[in-house]
Amino acid sequence: MCKFIILLFSILILQSCKETKISYLEQNRFDLTSQDFDFPEKDFNILGFGAYHGSAKTEDVEIKLLHALTKNGTIKYYLPEVDYSTAYYYNEFLETGDTALLKELIIYNGYHITQERTIEVYDKWKQIKHLNDRLPENKKLKILGIEWIRNYKYVTKHIVELIKDQNNQLQPIRRLKQTIAADTTNYSIDKPSLVKQNLKDLITDYENDKKRYTSKIENVEVFEMILKNIKHSFEEQPEREQIIYHNYLTLKSEYNFSNNPQFMRVGFFHLEKSREGKDGYPSLFARLVENKIYPKQKIISVIGYFTDSKVFWSEQYDKNGDYSGYSIEAGFGIGDYEKEYFRGIQNLKNTKLSDKTLFRLNQSDSPYFTNEPDLIEIIMQDEASNSEAVKGMSTLDFLDYAILISDSKASVPIYEMK
């Protein structure tokens, strides 16, 4: 009898918690498809949005967020998941509208994240240009990149532009110019190539005689950050999160991030504001919190979740190495599947307003402060999950907002573009 009473009491508590969360979500939800949508918070240092890669409506959500955050000048800088030099050429696209450049940027950035090499990302950037064109000159977005280098294409071009060596006095720069002009090199970081050797020679020459270079470089600190990132690309196992954290700190000083809020679009993990368990590996946002770069409440994490959706999973190539198609996932890989799902996602599904619904989780009366890792614990049937690591942690240890994305098609590789 006693066991039955305890069981019944436990069930009633769980039901009460569920009803509390449902009630809270109903009072703190926003329809991203509404013309009147505005992001609830304005006072932050950095706001990051991320979700699993490869689903089409994620790009629509990002555009909605950017519209809301730029219409009143809330953000100054936009940090997509690219390195500093690639970001430089995205700025060039925003200025010129050169769609051939845009397509090439997306193709080469795909060597870093294959699922971002898509038509939807291409179309998103065209929308970002349209948005930016309509902003006043003093409120236009500037694109910055803090990612590690995964391809030498744009960093090589950028270095040649950064060093004003009109008389070709610097032999390593002269060689880089010749390599770019020949346009026959392999820009992969994983294979020996002429451009890779040229970059190694440049770094050696620069470190041996900096004075020959510094008079020809407008911003030495940023130039040295780029060289440092190239050196990381030579390592067998570079530590990505540490690299992007240190890149962020360099640009924080250069661009006065403390007084100029940024919007960041990256993968899910980078936005977790805590480690998954005391021994967990720290993400970028966790490092910003732990090192007190900003107060935790000024670091806003917005994470997207999928239901009834599909994701572009991988590109396919024939035996000659030519693109031949792509694969799609509709169960595993979206986080709402009987064998792999986020704890508590059903509450979002029960309270959504549209196919793109934003939920604010961080109000002072939020039930997501309790030690239940909803929306961070991944429950899996056949594989190990993070359940033990996040046990006893709260949702708000990790994120501030959730966006439920419904009925999203898989993104389509840019190689399918006609």
pLDDT, tens digit, for every residue of 267-321? 999 999 999 999 999 999 999 999 999 999 999 999 999 999 999 999 999 999 9
Residue 17's nearest CA partner among 347, 302, 307 is 347
Kindly tell me if the per-residue pLDDT of 343 is higher than 90. yes
Mean pLDDT of 25-54: 97
**Given this model, what pLDDT does residue 190 score?**
87
Mean pLDDT of 248-263: 97
**Given this model, what pLDDT does residue 217 score?**
94
**Given this model, what pLDDT does residue 406 score?**
97
Kindly tell me if the per-residue pLDDT of 12 is higher than 50. no
pLDDT, tens digit, for every residue of 400-416? 999 999 999 999 999 99
pLDDT, tens digit, for every residue of 188-224? 898 888 999 999 999 999 999 999 999 999 899 999 9
**Given this model, what pLDDT does residue 184 score?**
72
**Given this model, what pLDDT does residue 83 score?**
97
**Given this model, what pLDDT does residue 17 score?**
55
**Given this model, what pLDDT does residue 10 score?**
47
Q: Give the range among 3-7, 94-98, 238-242, 392-396 with minimum mean pLDDT.
A: 3-7
- Give the pLDDT band (50/70/90) at residue 3: low
**Given this model, what pLDDT does residue 43 score?**
96
**Given this model, what pLDDT does residue 18 score?**
57
**Given this model, what pLDDT does residue 25 score?**
98
pLDDT, tens digit, for every residue of 59-68? 999 999 999 9
Kindly tell me if the per-residue pLDDT of 6 is higher than 70. no
Mean pLDDT of 20-42: 96
**Given this model, what pLDDT does residue 9 score?**
47
Kindly tell me if the per-residue pLDDT of 96 is higher than 50. yes
Kindly tell me if the per-residue pLDDT of 11 is higher than 70. no
Share the mean pLDDT of the chain: 93
